Amino acid sequence: MRIRRNQRRRIVDRIMGVLSVLATVVALIPLASILIYVSAKGLSAINWDFFTKLPKPVGEPGGGMANAIVGTMILVGLASAMGIPLGILAGIYLAEFGRGRLAWTVRFICDVMTGIPSIIVGIAVYGTIVVAMKRYSAIAGGVALAIIMLPLVTRTTEEMLKLVPNSLREASLALGAPQWRTVVSVVLRSAAGGIITGVMLAVARIAGETAPLLFTALSSRYWHTGLDQRIASLPVYIYTYATTPYEDLHRLAWGAALVLLALVLVTSMAARVAGRRASGGNRG
């Protein structure tokens, strides 16, 4: 009786163990499939033209995505130029000065912002900047991406600064350094590793964003001519090309996906490696 029961318990234990391994394997199958398809199909689409030529009109073979690659760089650069300094400053506020109701509100809002669907951010930027400028523009796209980046950078900065021991601040203040110099040259510097990781993850994240660009930066078949003009980007090209019926464009979409994925994965892996080195390896 007891032996039978224990046997059953052992079998259930074994089965649940196998199921948990299975769950992990099942979750990793799509990862493998995506990486394999994107590399295989993407590589066959990529050649010198891909990086140097403009897209051709539908029906004409060949063409490249040079403008979209440059466009993504410009958009990410614009967003970073706005989002990173603002986020770091807000993070400093929360970690160094933030007390009381305002700090609580900002922390809460920052958390809420990470939950806002990115398409909503697109609507908001459309409703303000695009409407005001009366046209789609690189600026609008950059702002939309910056908004998505902002809470990520703020939160990382706050968390990293809070890890800096107080004794370091006190030592610097005791030497007569003003608070802003203490924060900038002592606290910020000693937390730099972690902040850089967080910032790189945020950059990787926005590089692949599509939804907020659909009606802010829109897209363009031509080279970028000015920040107040619409601009091409890799994610939007992938979307539009994948949803057309043309085989040639599908091929280009896979190529663009490979470039984008490589960009995103290399950035976020580098971020993790940098972070592991900086924080002693207990993250991720």
Partner 1 sequence: MRKKSYKAWLEGDIAFRGFTYLAALSLVGVVLAILWVLVEKSQLTFTKFGPGFALGSRWDPVHGVFGALPLVYGTVVSSLIALAIALPLSLGIAIYLTQLAPHWLRGPVSFLVELLAAIPSVVYGLWGVFVLVPWVRSSVEPVLGSALGFLPLFRGAPYGFGMLAAGIILAIMITPTISAVSREVLLAVPRSQQEAMLALGATRWETIRMVVLPYGRSGILGAAILGLGRALGETMAVTMVIGNRPQISPSLFELAQTIASIIANEFSEAFNDLHLSALVAAGFILFVITLLLHVMARLLVWRVARVPQGVTRE
Partner 2 sequence: MNVKLLVEEFSAWYGKNQAVKDVTLPVPLHQVTAIIGPSGCGKSTLIRCLNRLHELLPGTRTKGRVMLDGQDIYSDNMDLAELRHRIGMVFQKPNPFSTMSIFNNVAAGVRVNGLRPGTKMEDIVEKSLRMAALWDEVKDRLHESPYNLSGGQQQRLCIARALAVEPEVLLMDEPCSALDPASTLKVEELIADLKSRYTILMVTHNMQQAARVADYTAFFLNGQMIEYGLTTEIFTNPKDKRTEDYISGRFG
Q: Which residues bind partner 2 (CB under 8 A)?
A: 1-2, 5-6, 9-10
Residues in 193-212 that interact with partner 1 by CB under 8 A: 198, 201, 204-205, 207-211
Q: Is 280 exposed, middle or buried (0-12, 13-18, 19+ CB in 10 A)?
A: exposed
Tell me which of partner 2, partner 1, none is bound by residue 187, counting a contact when its beta carbon lies within the kind-specific cut-off of 5 to 8 angstroms: none
Min dist. Cβ of residue 21 to partner 2 (A): 19
Residue 209 is encoded by which pair of tokens?
């964003």
Bridge partners for 63 per DSSP:
55
Contact 163, 156 (CB under 8 A): no
Tell me which of partner 1, partner 2, none is bound by residue 50, counting a contact when its beta carbon lies within the kind-specific cut-off of 5 to 8 angstroms: none
Tell me which of partner 1, partner 2, none is bound by residue 58, counting a contact when its beta carbon lies within the kind-specific cut-off of 5 to 8 angstroms: none
Residue 92 is encoded by which pair of tokens?
């400093």
Tell me which of partner 1, partner 2, none is bound by residue 264, counting a contact when its beta carbon lies within the kind-specific cut-off of 5 to 8 angstroms: partner 1
Contact between 51 and partner 1 by CB under 8 A: the answer reads no
Residues in 265-284 that interact with partner 1 by CB under 8 A: 265, 268, 271-272, 283-284
Contact between 50 and partner 1 by CB under 8 A: the answer reads no
Residues contacting residue 239 through CB under 8 Å, at least 6 positions apart: 210, 214
Min dist. Cβ of residue 273 to partner 1 (A): 11
1 or 174: CB nearest partner 2: 1
3 or 174: CB nearest partner 2: 3
Contact between 3 and partner 1 by CB under 8 A: the answer reads no
Binding part of the chain for partner 1, among 34-42, 51-59, 60-68, 162-170 by CB under 8 A, reads 34-42
1 or 29: CB nearest partner 2: 1
Residues in 69-108 that interact with partner 1 by CB under 8 A: 85-90, 92-94, 96-98, 102-103, 105-106
Contact between 126 and partner 1 by CB under 8 A: the answer reads yes
CB atoms inside a 10 Å sphere around CB 75: 30
13 or 111: CB nearest partner 2: 13
Contact between 128 and partner 1 by CB under 8 A: the answer reads yes
Contact between 12 and partner 1 by CB under 8 A: the answer reads yes
Binding part of the chain for partner 1, among 17-25, 43-51, 60-68, 163-171 by CB under 8 A, reads 17-25
Tell me which of partner 2, partner 1, none is bound by residue 211, counting a contact when its beta carbon lies within the kind-specific cut-off of 5 to 8 angstroms: partner 1
